[in-house]
């Protein structure tokens, strides 16, 4: 069995936070929408603080022009070789730029967000504190749509 399947089977049975309802935001037409990337890959610039080893609930804001970001999520259970070759496989910022240039999306957000992938099981801080704070920063930038990428 592949390592990925082992991980999927392991995660399938872990308890997850319960959400009884499904919130729903209605975006503008895609061609008018400002789009951001939100990733749990723990990306950060070299001049930003690293994410802690365990259960880090903080986030980093990434500027639209940032490249050569460090993949800060520390888990040993995912492939890193692809990201080293092409950041777009985790953080498709160049693809968004192409879609904006083509008029498919309205705009690329001026800032994007990275969290760490290893969160405390309750994810209570992300739900109540740092998550809403990051969302407010994106809203202040006029973001309508977010693409969420885990590793």
| Residues 2 to 21 in contact with other proteins, rule: CB under 8 A | 2-4, 6-8, 10-14, 16-21
Residues in contact with 122: Cβ distance below 8 Å, sequence separation at least 6, in sequence order: 17
Closest contact distance (angstroms) between CB of 96 and other proteins is 8
25 belongs to the binding site for other proteins (CB under 8 A) = yes
Report d(CA 107, CA 143) in Å as an integer: 9
Q: Could you say which residues in the range 89-108 bind other proteins, by CB under 8 A? A: 89-90, 92, 94-96, 98-99, 104-105
Contact 137, 148 (CB under 8 A): no
Q: Hey, which residues between 64 and 83 contact other proteins (CB under 8 A)?
A: 68-71, 74-83
Beta-bridged to residue 36, according to DSSP, are: 146
- Distance in angstroms (rounded) separating the CA atoms of residues 62 and 36: 10
* Least CB distance to other proteins at residue 72 (A): 8
53 makes contact with other proteins (CB under 8 A): yes
């Amino acid at each position: 069995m592949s390592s990925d399947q082992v991980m999927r089977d392991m995660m399938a049975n872990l308890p997850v936070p319960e959400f009884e309802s499904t919130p729903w935001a209605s975006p503008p037409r895609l061609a008018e929408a400002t789009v951001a990337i939100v990733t749990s890959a723990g990306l950060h610039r070299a001049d930003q603080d690293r994410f802690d080893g365990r259960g880090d609930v903080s986030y980093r804001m990434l500027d639209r022009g940032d490249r050569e970001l460090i993949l800060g999520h520390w888990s040993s259970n995912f492939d890193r070789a692809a990201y080293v070759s092409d950041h777009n496989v985790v953080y498709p910022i160049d693809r968004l730029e192409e879609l904006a240039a083509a008029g498919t999306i309205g705009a690329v957000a001026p800032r994007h967000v990275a969290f760490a992938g290893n969160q405390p099981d309750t994810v209570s801080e992300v739900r109540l504190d740092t998550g809403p704070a990051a969302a407010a920063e994106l809203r202040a930038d006029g973001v309508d749509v977010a693409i969420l990428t885990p590793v």
